[in-house]
Chain A
């Protein structure tokens, strides 16, 4: 099995991968992305929304759950604020400022779960090979045989909307995707001579994976994390929209889009404002992930990685 990889070692991509630095690799990968125009745009968009979400609650103003003016008042109405009022007459501006941080924290937590678990499974399977690899990856296939959202809905219907379940369900639903991508990426690394060599020296698998395999997987791992984050945001916002995420009267961008739909003609901001911040956040994180892929893997491969991971499934 090492015969083919020794040829690969001489190809330009091969050298590039091996040379991936051991420390500060994460910073370097991010910096490379930030130097591109795409990366700058993505990071700026995401940071704007993060600022709204986390600094918003500090902005003085009306309470997001208190009555401000008659329901669906337009922005001009006294007491209605800059963005008017929502279905129950609460300030849309206050609800937008306070409705993001929970969503983003939940998305971060599920991303951590998805990427951590997925990478662990994928890399371990690629390193161990043989029967266990087959078993693990076929297990991944089975979970992937249910559409993500349906999988999450199933879990949510059973236990009901709880925040920890949301994190667990969204994380578990996405872990198989990460496992697939990381498995594919780790396979070529595990075949390399230096990995084989340290394994022969008798280093325990845990150490080989941590010291020699993972450092060479920084880029795919970062791309995965970025993509999973943007999908977690979409999934969690979608669940809130369906009424299975954050529960009213707490402000939440997904909930707001749902509850203010009836007033789209009287005060469109009730729907448009949360929809716009969600859109900017999703586009920002996704664009940044794309920039990470392109800056570190090359344009074409970046394109493929993003698409493959986006709709999930690599070619054999």
Chain B
């Protein structure tokens, strides 16, 4: 093998200046926002056509044996099934955009009146979980990285591996067994609320669903922050700081932690994305009145309008969260922010 010319293996690829590409932040927004809108549009089409075309006829599926020709015709008109698929979709999408979401097929209430209170309950649950899992995960991750291979690190790593692998409904029933019906009975086992109440009226009913989701989401934060902090502590600049006599606290919180911000943000984003789907099972375990439970009910009763509304809502949440997470990651990672 001949000696390779000049370039050492680790030599940086020369930076090309003035290539005329837009600033990464602008490029991200210019690309991702239209793409996000397109994604939501495609998801809505997929949802609409899946709920409309595949079952043969949603109307007869919903009415079942009680169908009379008159009631079938009425329901078809209500669902827009008397129109062609494409004009039906455009009609539905137009109404969706103008804020008219139709009526629930199972109880005739408007979809907003049916879903919105549950949406608020779910948001409270998700925000509580996101905040606590971030705090807990960052603290535990930094501590584990600082005392690497110590007892806390070992126990934490094993627990996080176990907890992150468990199915959320299994965690849920264990939590119920330990804290509600079995070992202790500290909290209510189910979170059913009277229809006119919100979850903050009875905060004790929030505890177990939140705890379950906390157990499932914290491990990712812990592992990512731990890995990022270890990497930072091993770096040259951390060594310099150490040699200059920086105290361990200063080293951890002024030198290492800032480097863990980007991964932490990314994992919070990922956790929120996960929660958008994860609440479905956990809310069902606790009969927690949120959109996850509403979605499962809508699937059971084939409540097409509620189903379409929730899926599109979740897709909007999902897509915008994705963009926001990437934007924050970009802003907290100077290396990637520089135009390439």
Contacts and interface: CB of A to CB of B under 8 A. Distances in A.
A303 B228 CA distance: 11
Interface centre among A10, A138, A141, A272 (most CB of B within 10 A): A141
Contacts of A10: 4, 9
Given A149-B277, A311-B267, A257 B231 contact: no
B39 interface: yes
A261 interface: yes
13 contacts: A142-B39, A148-B277, A150-B310, A153-B299, A242-B296, A264-B177, A272-B173, A279-B170, A286-B161, A304-B227, A307-B223, A310-B220, A311-B274
Identify whether the interface residues of A are mostly helix, strand, loop, or mixed: helix
Interface centre among B164, B302, B310 (most CB of A within 10 A): B164
Interface string A293-316: 000000010011001001111011
Interface string B255-292: 00000000000110011011011101100110000000
Nearest to B164: A310
A33 to B, nearest CB: 15
A218 B35 CA distance: 32
A155 interface: yes
B40 A244 contact: no
B181 interface: yes
A147 B39 contact: no
Interface stretch (A47-55, A56-64, A70-78, A156-164): A156-164
A97 to B, nearest CB: 19
Interface stretch (B72-80, B201-209, B237-245, B311-319): B311-319
A7 B39 CA distance: 37
Contact of B182 (A11, A148, A153, A268): A268
A282 interface: yes
Nearest to A148: B277
Interface in A229-263: 230, 233-234, 237-238, 241-244, 254, 257, 261
B50 A154 contact: yes
B123 to A, nearest CB: 15
A286 B46 CA distance: 32
Given A141-B35, A142-B39, A271-B177, A243 B270 contact: no
A311 B271 contact: yes
A1 interface: no
B193 to A, nearest CB: 19
A17 interface: no
Given A264-B177, A304-B227, A237 B311 contact: no
A242 B39 contact: no
Contacts of B161: 283, 286-287, 290
A148 B166 CA distance: 17
A265 interface: yes
B176 interface: yes
Interface of B: 4, 7, 9-11, 13, 35-36, 38-40, 42-43, 46-47, 50-51, 54-55, 161-162, 164-170, 173-174, 176-177, 181-182, 189, 220, 223-224, 227, 230-231, 266-267, 270-271, 273-274, 276-278, 280-281, 284-285, 295-296, 298-300, 302, 307, 310-311, 314-315, 318-319, 322, 329, 336
5 nearest A-B pairs in the assembled complex, by CB-CB distance: A147-B277, A286-B165, A311-B270, A157-B299, A234-B167
Nearest to A241: B169
Given A230-B165, A275-B173, A300-B227, A242 B9 contact: no
Contact of A4 (B13, B40, B165, B168): B13
B259 to A, nearest CB: 14
A92 interface: no
A146 interface: yes
Given A147-B276, A242-B284, A315 B165 contact: no
Contacts of A11: 9-10
A7 B276 contact: no
Interface of A: 4, 7, 10-11, 138, 141-142, 145-150, 153-159, 230, 233-234, 237-238, 241-244, 254, 257, 261, 264-265, 268, 271-272, 275, 278-279, 282-283, 285-287, 290, 300, 303-304, 307, 310-313, 315-316
Contacts of B298: 157
Contact of A268 (B166, B177, B281): B177
A307 B299 CA distance: 31
Contacts of B46: 146
B169 A158 contact: no
Given A150-B314, A304-B227, A158 B50 contact: yes
Contacts of B223: 303, 307
Contacts of B169: 237-238, 241, 254, 257
B212 to A, nearest CB: 13
A92 to B, nearest CB: 14
B7 A315 contact: no
A268 B174 CA distance: 10
Contacts of A278: 167, 170
B276 to A, nearest CB: 5
B263 to A, nearest CB: 9
Contact of A242 (B38, B174, B281): B281
Contacts of B43: 142, 145-146
A163 B216 CA distance: 28
Contacts of B274: 311
B281 A7 contact: no
Contacts of A283: 161-162, 165-166
Nearest to A158: B54
A171 B220 CA distance: 24
A222 to B, nearest CB: 17
Nearest to A3: B13
A275 B258 CA distance: 40
A104 B315 CA distance: 30
Nearest to A159: B54
A150 B266 contact: no
